[in-house]
Structure formats: C-alpha cells, structure tokens
C-alpha cells in the first residue's frame, strides 16, 4: 500500500484524487490531508479516510474541525507549520501537491526536502522557484510527477524516449472561454462569463487563468523546469477541443503526443501509479465521433498574458514569482469585481515593469519577491478600482 498525503484535498484535484483512492481499495492509504478553510468537506474526508493527520492553513477553521472531529483518531494541526508537518509525515511515500497558487510552495518544497515523491498539480511553486525545487529534488533523489494534463501528456510522451533527442515541447491550449472575443468585447467580461471553460471543469483560479491564457504562460514556465528544456524549445498551440493534451517533437521529426477526453482522473492516476497504469472506467476517446481536431497559433495581441510568461522566464530570477503573485492578486480582484478582465494583464504588466529581478537561492528569496509583488499589485488594483480611475 502506497501511503499518500494530499495537500489541498478539498479542491478539484484533491477530491478527484480521493475518488481514485476509493476506486482502488488496497492500493493507497491516505495518511495526511490539508485544506484551507473548508471545514465540512475536510471533516467528511476525515470520516471516510481516517488519516493520521490533517492540517488547515486557517487556525480558526482548524479549531472548528477539531471540535467536529472529537473522538476520532485524526490529529488536527494548523497554519504553515501544520501544513509542513503533514507534508513531511515520515510514513508518506507520495505527496499529492494540489494547493491552489503560491501557497503550495512552502509545504511542497518541505516534502521534497523530506525525500517524498511528488505528484505535482500545483504549478505555481514550479513557476515561483522552479530551479530551487529541482535542485532540492536532485539532492533528495526525489521524482516529481506532473499532474497538470499538459505536463502529464509531455511526461507520457517522453517515457521510453531519450531526453537528448527532444527538439520541441508543444503545449496545447484550448484558448479558453473568451477565445473568439475581440479586445473591445473583453472589456466588459464578467467573472461568470470567464468561468465558463469549454472543455475542463476546474477551480475558479485556473479557469480565469485559462480565459486570460496566463495558465499557458505559467505552464511554459512549469515545463521549462519540470523537463529542463529551454523556453526557446517550448511552443504553445491553440487546440480548441482539448483532445491532444500536448506533444513532443524529436530530432527525427517524429512527434509523440498524449490524447484523451478531458478528465483529470487520467493524469492523476498516472502520477499516483507510475510506472503502472490502472484501469479507469471512463469513456474511451472516439476520434471518428469527434470528427475534427482544430489547431491555430495563439494570438499574443488579444492574450498578452501568454507573452508575459515567456518574458518572465527570459528575465529569470525572481521575475516568474512576481508574475505569479501579481496574477493571483489580479485574478482574485477580478473575481471580486474590483477590476475588469483586461486589467488582469495590465496589473501583471505594471508589477513586472516595476520589479528588478534578483537570483533565487533560497525559499525566502522566492517568498520575498512574492510578498513584494502582492503588495505592489494590490496597490495598482486600488488605483484601478477607484471609480475615477477605472482603466480596463
């Protein structure tokens, strides 16, 4: 039995992971879970899976959970220290990193340092401190298995082939819910519209990132570090149907790709069971029924966030962490109706312009850049959201 810890167990990836655990009794034992504030859902998970330890980042929520779980064998801890304690449980074989956003960096890095294999769904830590994460993984002889559908596709398309023969990584992007809009039309997009993803059911943060194409910008950075491939060899291809999840081109011009109907359970299960696969009772891909797959180049004019991802990677150092932090703040402000859709990119652009990149040698370097960028982006948003200064 593989002993697993799930960081972010009440989110979309976390619940899908537990769904897989339930479907394969005897394969996995859930020993640790963490969540932010969703007490009731975590309580339900505690009752079903009886983990030895759970952590809530919010101390008040943890207190409430403790009350609701009285008499159960599960230890409830809280705060950053609690997350790290759960992420590094000595018995854990595999840590599923599925916290949303930069908050995942601290516990994920702690798990790596503790020698745990990682199934990485939380792309932001890799964006913020990719080189550091990989350095620590090498030191601890830890493997990081991607869970993001695109990176899982790249990973699966590399298995059995020599890394030295890789010529290009091609990340596919659906283009998101606003793909056909003009910039003018995007001005007045509401959170409800931007949350209508055509192919994937995901959490709100990543769905907005899909609408701005920042998700793809972050994925380029993630791919750069996950696979140690320079940005110049990473391309993005718009593929509306999200059937080809990504592709790898080799030196002989042979391209290997991974395809499937959009369902996160496939990449989650692959990362959990690697190098084995488990039979999942999901509908099969039927290309004859789908009939047609479409492809085109991304439009960097209407979707400037993708280019910001490449720019941050080119500048390097703390810049990707700044990109990520400004994006998180801006997306939250958009969801809270404080700024318009176009102001997401504008906020990130201005924050990046104001930042002088420095090297990341330690976790603190990354966290400091993150904190600075959150502060700066928040200030920009305050200006943008005062009625007299609405800039879309």
- Which residue, 36 or 260, is less far from a copy of itself as judged by CB? 260
- Which residue, 165 or 382, is less far from a copy of itself as judged by CB? 165
Q: In the beta sheet, which residues pair with residue 114?
A: none
CB atoms within 10 A of CB 41: 15
- Pick from 233, 228, 225, 231: nearest CA to 250: 233
Report the site for a copy of itself in 215-244 (rule: CB under 8 A).
Answer: 237-239, 244
**What is 83-143 written as a DSSP string?**
HHHHHT-TT-SEEEE--SSGGGHHHHHHHHHTT-EEEE---HHHHHHHHHHHHHHHHTT--
- Which residue, 116 or 240, is less far from a copy of itself as judged by CB? 240
180 binds a copy of itself (CB under 8 A): no
**How many angstroms separate the CA atoms of 225 and 287, rounded?**
32
Only one residue has tokens 């167990």, namely 9
For residue 236, the SS3 value is strand
Only one residue has tokens 């601290």, namely 106
146 binds a copy of itself (CB under 8 A): no
252 binds a copy of itself (CB under 8 A): yes
Closest CB 297 distance from a copy of itself, rounded Å: 5
Q: How far is CA 76 from CA 11, 82, 85, 108, 349, in A?
A: 18, 8, 11, 19, 41
- Which residue, 206 or 248, is less far from a copy of itself as judged by CB? 248
257 binds a copy of itself (CB under 8 A): yes
Which of 140, 181, 195, 261 binds a copy of itself (CB under 8 A)? It is 261
Which of 195, 293, 335, 383 binds a copy of itself (CB under 8 A)? It is 293
376 binds a copy of itself (CB under 8 A): no
- Pick from 54, 75, 62: nearest CA to 9: 54
- Which residue, 104 or 175, is less far from a copy of itself as judged by CB? 175
Q: How far is CA 247 from CA 53, 85, 119, 172, 263, in A?
A: 39, 37, 20, 8, 18
- Which residue, 276 or 353, is less far from a copy of itself as judged by CB? 276
To 10 degrees, the CA torsion angle through 320, 322, 325, 330?
-110
Which of 195, 259, 335, 354 binds a copy of itself (CB under 8 A)? It is 259
Closest CB 108 distance from a copy of itself, rounded Å: 24
- Which residue, 27 or 338, is less far from a copy of itself as judged by CB? 27
Stretch that binds a copy of itself, among 99-107, 192-200, 202-210, 263-271 (CB under 8 A): 263-271
Closest CB 209 distance from a copy of itself, rounded Å: 22
Is residue 77 within 8 A of residue 53, CB to CB? The reply is yes
| Chain positions contacting a copy of itself, by CB under 8 A | 156-162, 165, 167-168, 170, 237-239, 244, 247, 249-261, 263, 266, 269-270, 275-280, 282-285, 287-288, 290-297
């Amino acid at each position: 039995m593989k002993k697993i810890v799930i960081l972010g167990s009440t989110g979309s990836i976390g619940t899908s992971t537990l769904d897989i655990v339930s479907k394969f009794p005897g394969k996995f034992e859930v020993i640790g879970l963490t969540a932010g504030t969703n007490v009731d859902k975590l309580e339900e998970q505690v009752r079903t899976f009886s983990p030895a330890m759970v952590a809530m980042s919010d101390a008040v929520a943890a207190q409430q959970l403790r009350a609701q779980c009285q008499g159960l064998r599960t230890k409830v801890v809280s705060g950053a220290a609690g997350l790290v304690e759960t992420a590094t449980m000595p018995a854990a074989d595999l840590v599923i990193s599925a916290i949303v956003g930069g908050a995942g960096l601290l516990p994920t890095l702690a798990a790596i340092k503790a020698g745990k294999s990682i199934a990485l769904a939380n792309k932001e830590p890799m964006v913020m401190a990719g080189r550091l994460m990989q350095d620590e993984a090498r030191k601890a002889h830890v493997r990081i298995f991607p869970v993001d559908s695109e990176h899982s596709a790249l990973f699966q398309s590399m298995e059995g082939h020599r890394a030295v023969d890789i010529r290009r990584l091609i990340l596919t992007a659906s283009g998101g819910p606003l793909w056909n809009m003009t910039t003018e039309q995007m001005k007045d997009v509401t959170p409800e519209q931007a949350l209508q993803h055509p192919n994937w059911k995901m959490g709100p943060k990543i769905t907005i990132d899909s609408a701005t194409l920042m998700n793809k910008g972050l994925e380029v950075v993630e791919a750069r570090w996950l696979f140690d491939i320079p940005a110049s060899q990473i391309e993005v291809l718009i593929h509306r149907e999200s059937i080809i999840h990504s592709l790898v081109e080799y030196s002989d011009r042979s391209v290997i790709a991974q395809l499937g109907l959009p369902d996160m359970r496939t990449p989650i299960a692959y990362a959990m069971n690697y190098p084995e696969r488990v039979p999942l009772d999901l509908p099969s891909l039927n290309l004859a029924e789908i009939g047609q797959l479409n492809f085109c180049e991304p439009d960097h004019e209407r979707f400037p966030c993708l280019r910001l991802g490449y720019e941050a990677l080119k500048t390097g150092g703390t810049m990707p962490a700044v990109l990520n932090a400004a994006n998180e703040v801006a997306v939250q402000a958009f969801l809270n109706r404080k700024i318009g859709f176009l102001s997401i990119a504008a906020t990130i652009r201005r924050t990046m312009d104001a930042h002088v990149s420095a090297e990341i040698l330690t976790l603190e370097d990354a966290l400091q850049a993150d904190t600075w960028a959150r502060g700066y982006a928040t200030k920009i948003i305050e200006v943008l959201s005062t009625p007299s200064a609405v800039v879309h």
